[in-house]
Structure 1
Amino acid sequence: MAPNLVWAEGYQKDRFVLVRTLNSGRTWQIMQLPMQPPSYPVTAAAEADWKSGYPELYANNERDLWIAWRDIDKPVVWVEYTHDGGASWRVASIPVNEAASVVGQFAFINARTGWLVVESYGASEQSDKWMYHTSDGGSTWHLVYSTSVDAPRLLAGTSQHLTFRTASHGFWLVADPIRPGISLYQTDDGGFHWQRIFVSVPIEYAHDVTVSVWGPVFSKTSPNQGVLAVDFYTSEPQPTMNLAVYHTKDGGATWRYVTTRNIPSEYGNCTFQFFNTSC
């Protein structure tokens, strides 16, 4: 992404707005979208009814950007996208399962090839998931995977992060407070089939549950190098969060726990993002 260009989204007077700066934040321009996502009060009220109209944004670079949200009144996900930095926009619709009520994550490897996750609301943070794929930049989307047909079901928990290294090789990281261990899955066929990867848990966190996960993120200059992070939670002897970082040198085939220092681990919300993973 261009160093001076930043996209941001949010609500202004209850109306969803997408803004862009071309000068590192000194001035901002409101983008005119062909379709307006639901207002904040409408979206907040729908969430109480197990629906979510909150938009999900993904910027691949200064030109290519996608926004998706679930229609509150009918089982459709709307995708608005631009390939010229917001000068022009197009809209696509994805018919979804009635239970698919939350737009999760985007992942793109270039301007044309990408994936989108839609989830259901689920008890104990156990959701069904649907994954859609596009090969034309967002104009058409096709279902490639659904956990609702698995027996026994894979990918239990809630979707947290989706990463594709190539058109066929990708990773899906799920936060599952019920299943022990780290729920990291891998595909080698573009998302049609997923297999859980073994990631060892430090002995001191062996009885904890995973509540938040980030990554994997891979280096653009050394693509076999990558990192992921996991928040382990325990309630004994008192509620505590512990952040664990993992590193791979072989493109995600194996992951090694990295001893870290000076990373906050107290109980509460945590935000973690990798900006440079060229190890």
Structure 2
Amino acid sequence: MKKIFFGLLILTLFFSGCQNNVKNHDNLAKTPIQNVSKNVTNNDIQSEKWKWSFKDNKISSLKDLQLYKSNDGGKTWTQVYIPIDKIPESAYKDAENIVPYFMDNNGWIGWIVPSTLYILKTTDGGAKWDILKSDIGKCGENISVLQFVTSEEGWILTTMNGAGMQINYLLKTSDGGKRWENVNITGKKNYDGIYSAANCSNMKFYDKNNGWISISNNIGPDPLLFRTTDGGKNWLQIKLSIPESYRNCYLSSANVPVFTDSKHGKLILEIYKQNKENKYEKYILVYQTTDGGKTWKILSEK
């Protein structure tokens, strides 16, 4: 397990406020679409309409992003042109990761080159693209999760990483990605993100109102778990009851709850514990809610 030097990190990772003005909004020309085989390997599928992959798993390279679209429920796929030749290399070469998200004919491809958030956006299934640039100040150096709940309203969970320390910021747009604002998750007056001894984070909105943020924990089994029921105006930290036998463990996962309906859901914690031979053993704790996520009880331990 990594040792965490909190005092030094807090002194060195001091961040100023966030800025949210849009710097540019350029229209990118259409280029002919190329047909490809129906047997393309996919990393993710949204509504059987979009999927993508990265050549040689180069997730930080916009040049290596391969994007595909289907108009027949996933039977056949067509490669979609990404206007990489219209974007200066300086706008993406230092990005740590490229994150796509699609909804019907709307698509967003996001990345950060500090301190600028870039969004490639299409509203017509990839025939035409716009590039949106926003100055986000110190609110993150890479994107953890990008999600839209409508064509106009979307969220980005960003991270700023240090040695054994992670700071998370939540950004929201109400105009399809042109402007972004930093959302206060904890409610503290001098809010500057969420500091945690973590290495991963996650986010999921189930609709415009109900969303979850989860952050791992490298020094204990307790997750940082936050919930909103009013579209991000207010957030509540959810506390889980961790059995005493797992108190010497650390949480490796940042899983968000998975709901089957508005009331019933499950949450999986993946934790590690060092045994007598100084080897780490993995344990799984499964929690269940029957009241929409207000309270959680352990369903099983593995």
**Percent identical across equivalent pairs?**
24
SS of the counterpart of 1:57?
strand
- Does the CA-based 8 Å contact 2:67-2:81 persist in structure 1? no
Q: 2:293 aligns with which of 248, 252, 257?
A: 252
The C-alpha deviation readout for 1:123-155, integer Å capped at 9, x for no partner, is 21x222221111122232222237898579745
State the match for 1:275 in structure 2: none
State the match for 1:30 in structure 2: 79
**Aligned counterparts of 2:138 and 2:181: Cα–Cα separation in 1:** 17
- Does the CA-based 8 Å contact 2:221-2:246 persist in structure 1? no
- Does the CA-based 8 Å contact 1:168-1:189 persist in structure 2? yes
More divergent stretch after superposition (115-124 vs 85-94): 85-94
State the match for 1:240 in structure 2: 281
Aligned pairs for 1:42-57 within 5 A: 52-57=95-100
**Aligned counterparts of 2:199 and 2:180: Cα–Cα separation in 1:** 22
Q: Which amino acid aligns with 1:253?
A: K
The C-alpha deviation readout for 1:12-52, integer Å capped at 9, x for no partner, is 6973223214257665433222447898xx96xx5xxxxx4
State the TM-score, normalized to the length of structure 2. 0.68
Q: 1:84 to 1:218 in 2, by over 3 A?
A: farther
**Aligned counterparts of 2:185 and 2:295: Cα–Cα separation in 1:** 26
Q: 1:10 aligns with which of 50, 54, 57?
A: 54
- Does the CA-based 8 Å contact 1:75-1:97 persist in structure 2? yes
More divergent stretch after superposition (115-124 vs 187-196): 187-196
More divergent stretch after superposition (182-191 vs 103-112): 182-191
Q: 1:90 to 1:143 in 2, by over 3 A?
A: same
More divergent stretch after superposition (150-159 vs 208-217): 150-159
Q: Which amino acid aligns with 2:140?
A: A
Q: 1:62 aligns with which of 104, 108, 129?
A: 104
Q: May I ask how many residue pairs the two structures share in their alignment?
A: 246
State the TM-score, normalized to the length of structure 1. 0.73
**Aligned counterparts of 1:153 and 1:99: Cα–Cα separation in 2:** 8
Q: Which has the higher contact order (CA 8 A, sep 6+)?
A: 2
**Aligned counterparts of 1:3 and 1:105: Cα–Cα separation in 2:** 18
- Does the CA-based 8 Å contact 1:155-1:174 persist in structure 2? no
1:19 equivalent to 2:67? Answer yes
Q: Could you say what the CA RMSD is over the residues aligned between the two structures, in angstroms?
A: 3.3
- Structure 1: tracts of 5 or more residues without a match: 47-51, 262-279
Q: Which amino acid aligns with 2:293?
A: G
1:75 equivalent to 2:107? Answer no
- Structure 2: tracts of 5 or more residues without a match: 1-44
More divergent stretch after superposition (12-21 vs 224-233): 12-21
Q: 1:155 to 1:249 in 2, by over 3 A?
A: farther
1:190 equivalent to 2:236? Answer no
State the match for 1:101 in structure 2: 141
**Aligned counterparts of 1:27 and 1:213: Cα–Cα separation in 2:** 34
Tell me the CA shift for residue 231 of structure 1: 0.8
1:161 equivalent to 2:209? Answer no
Q: 1:11 to 1:150 in 2, by over 3 A?
A: farther
